[in-house]
């Protein structure tokens, strides 16, 4: 019986009450959803400090925050042993000694290429762990072609070999290899920008290109990032939230990567950014992108274009943002800050960060400037639900002489930690 069949059997029998999933990658997250749909109480264990290590920390924390509404999540702790009686699992013991009672444990700790046959055939293996192939999918033996999860291919941004076990790439590579076997080496597979998407309970999650941490690791030292939170279509069309992190080269504006999360149409956004990266488009190319618009499908300015607008404003110096992580560090350091929530009082009562902010609604800001410090160099951080009004507030403050105003990128909706409300 395969693992998938066994999980279906568990779902149908409804005998398992508690499960532990080991591994916070794509397979682990998808397993959690399957078990959750079966009504099973889940504990997710990840040895590393974050889930989904291909994401930047901010986006991974947003995923963690959401997953915690469905499962117990334990990070930076590994499995020491499995406990049981009479051949039946009763608990998982962690490295710190914690014992988690369970009826089922699923080990979902990733995929490694199966290169046993390749080694026996004398094929060249690469540093990324896969079989080395050229653009024709041809191995070091000209009579052998290889595709799929067992090979390594070039990343089109870094030009470094990577292991990219994606089903769509395997199919594309298979077509190239098949054509070349039949007609000679006439078709090429250029490489990958490592685009992926998965379902995280009721959220979509996708990424394409480089994360910020990988861009820095690969030598892209002069980069800029921005986080945008907005709906995928108008509210009157039941629009849903999207949160996007965009990574670009600061000097050229070349788009290097994007990560998208939320209950909105994540697939569309990731596809847009994937084609932009593959086409080597810049931020300036994207700000006037001619995308289809109608209220049932999109905002008049699509979420992706709005993200490009924010990035362009940041690159031109019209917008000074502060990420959630940077803001959190300032709070830890107890830096002298003025924290300004510019939403309306009814919104503030329903939802707020609770980090010492004061409420001055945007419409009242010009009349209440006397409530702010006289020192115009005082650092002020503004926000609202998604920080659109926060940006407007920053412009008002700058117009009145304040020189050190920052906007919390993504606003309250992109805050990855627990809020007061």
Question: Is there a domain that residue 53 lies in?
Answer: yes
Q: Say yes or no: 163 and 129 in one domain.
A: yes
Q: Considering 256, 282, 316, which residue would you say is the last residue of a domain?
A: 316
- Give the tokens for residue 379: 């650092």
Question: Is there a domain that residue 419 lies in?
Answer: no
Question: Is there a domain that residue 421 lies in?
Answer: no
Strands 255-262 and 203-209 turn out to be antiparallel
Q: How far apart are CA 335 and CA 315, in angstroms?
A: 26
Q: Say yes or no: 137 and 159 in one domain.
A: yes
CB half-sphere exposure, 397, CA atoms < 13 A: 35
Q: Say yes or no: 376 and 296 in one domain.
A: no
For 281, phi then psi, to 5°, come to -80, 155
Q: How far apart are CA 110 and CA 51, in angstroms?
A: 12
Q: How far apart are CA 399 and CA 403, in angstroms?
A: 9
Give every residue of the chain whose pLDDT is below 50, as ranges.
Answer: none
Question: Is there a domain that residue 351 lies in?
Answer: yes
Residue in 340, 362, 352 with CA at minimum distance from that of residue 406: 340
- Give the tokens for residue 210: 């480089």
Q: Say yes or no: 311 and 201 in one domain.
A: yes
Question: Is there a domain that residue 189 lies in?
Answer: no
- Give the tokens for residue 145: 């072609």
Residues spanned by the domain of 346? 321-414
Q: How far apart are CA 321 and CA 390, in angstroms?
A: 10
Q: How many domains does the chain contain in total?
A: 4
Q: How far apart are CA 406 and CA 266, in angstroms?
A: 28
Q: Say yes or no: 178 and 244 in one domain.
A: no
Question: Is there a domain that residue 334 lies in?
Answer: yes
User: What is residue 89's predicted lDDT score, i.e. its pLDDT?
Assistant: 96
Q: Say yes or no: 200 and 234 in one domain.
A: yes
User: What is residue 1's predicted lDDT score, i.e. its pLDDT?
Assistant: 55
Tens of pLDDT, residue by residue over 305-362, are 999 999 999 999 999 999 999 999 999 998 899 999 999 999 999 999 999 999 999 9
Q: Say yes or no: 143 and 178 in one domain.
A: yes
Q: Say yes or no: 302 and 330 in one domain.
A: no
Q: Say yes or no: 144 and 203 in one domain.
A: no
User: What is residue 217's predicted lDDT score, i.e. its pLDDT?
Assistant: 95
Task: Give CA separation, 109 vs 21, 195, 262, 265, in Å.
Answer: 9, 20, 24, 28
Q: Considering 158, 183, 208, which residue would you say is the last residue of a domain?
A: 183
Q: Say yes or no: 230 and 162 in one domain.
A: no
Question: Is there a domain that residue 420 lies in?
Answer: no
Q: Say yes or no: 258 and 328 in one domain.
A: no
User: What is residue 234's predicted lDDT score, i.e. its pLDDT?
Assistant: 97
Tens of pLDDT, residue by residue over 264-307, are 999 999 999 999 999 999 999 999 999 999 999 999 999 999 99
Question: Is there a domain that residue 170 lies in?
Answer: yes
User: What is residue 9's predicted lDDT score, i.e. its pLDDT?
Assistant: 83
User: What is residue 92's predicted lDDT score, i.e. its pLDDT?
Assistant: 97
**CATH assignment of the domain containing 176:** 3.50.50.60
Task: Give CA separation, 71 vs 3, 33, 173, 233, 251, in Å.
Answer: 21, 9, 37, 29, 42
Q: Say yes or no: 83 and 140 in one domain.
A: no
The gap between the terminal CA atoms of the chain, to the nearest Å, is 47
Buried/exposed 67-99: b ≥16 CB within 10 Å, e otherwise? beebbebbeeeebeeeeeeeeebebbebeeeee
User: What is residue 185's predicted lDDT score, i.e. its pLDDT?
Assistant: 97
Beta strands in 201-283 (DSSP E): 203-209, 223-231, 241-249, 255-262
Helix (H, G, I), strand (E, B) or coil at 397: helix
Cβ atoms 397, 406 nearer than 8 A: no
Q: Considering 57, 74, 107, which residue would you say is the last residue of a domain?
A: 107
Q: How far apart are CA 140 and CA 419, in angstroms?
A: 56
Residue in 403, 211, 231, 222 with CA at minimum distance from that of residue 315: 222
Cβ atoms 119, 111 nearer than 8 A: no
- Give the tokens for residue 90: 């009763």
């Amino acid at each position: 019986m395969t693992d998938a069949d066994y999980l279906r059997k568990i779902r149908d029998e409804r005998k398992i009450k508690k499960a532990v999933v080991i591994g916070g990658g794509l397979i682990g997250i998808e397993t959690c959803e399957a078990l959750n749909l079966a009504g099973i109480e889940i504990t997710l264990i990840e040895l590393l400090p974050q889930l989904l290590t291909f994401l930047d920390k901010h986006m991974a924390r947003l995923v963690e925050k959401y997953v915690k509404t469905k499962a117990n999540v334990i990070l930076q702790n590994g499995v020491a042993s499995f406990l049981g009686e009479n051949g039946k699992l009763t608990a998982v013991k962690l490295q710190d000694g914690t014992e988690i009672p369970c009826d089922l444990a699923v080990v979902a700790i990733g995929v490694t290429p199966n290169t046993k046959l390749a080694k026996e055939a004398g094929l060249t293996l690469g540093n990324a762990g896969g079989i080395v192939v050229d653009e024709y999918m041809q191995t070091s033996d000209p009579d052998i072609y290889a595709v799929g999860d067992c090979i390594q291919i070039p990343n089109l941004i870094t030009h470094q070999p990577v292991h990219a076990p994606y089903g769509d790439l395997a199919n594309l590579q298979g077509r190239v290899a098949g054509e070349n076997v039949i007609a000679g080496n006439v078709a090429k597979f250029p490489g990958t920008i490592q685009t992926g998407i998965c379902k995280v309970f009721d959220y979509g999650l996708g990424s394409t290109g480089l994360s910020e941490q990988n861009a820095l690791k690969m030598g892209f030292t002069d980069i800029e990032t921005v986080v945008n939170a907005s709906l995928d279509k108008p509210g009157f069309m039941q629009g849903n939230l999207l949160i996007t992190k965009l990574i670009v080269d600061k000097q050229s504006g070349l788009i290097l990567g994007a990560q998208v999360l939320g209950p909105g149409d994540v697939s569309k956004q990731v596809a847009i950014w994937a084609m932009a990266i593959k086409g080597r488009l810049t931020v300036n190319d994207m700000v006037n992108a001619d995308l289809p618009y109608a209220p049932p499908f999109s905002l008049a300015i699509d979420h992706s274009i709005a993200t490009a607008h924010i990035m362009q404003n940041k690159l031109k110096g019209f917008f000074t943002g502060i990420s959630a992580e940077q803001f959190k560090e300032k709070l830890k350091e107890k830096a002298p800050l003025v924290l300004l929530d510019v939403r309306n009082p009814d919104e503030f009562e329903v939802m707020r960060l609770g980090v010492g902010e004061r409420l001055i609604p945007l419409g009242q800001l010009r009349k209440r400037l006397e409530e702010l410090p006289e020192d115009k160099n005082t650092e002020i951080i503004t926000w609202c639900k998604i920080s659109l009004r926060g940006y407007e507030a920053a412009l008002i403050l700058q117009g009145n002489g304040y020189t050190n105003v920052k906007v919390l990128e993504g606003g309250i909706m992109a805050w990855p930690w627990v809020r007061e409300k």
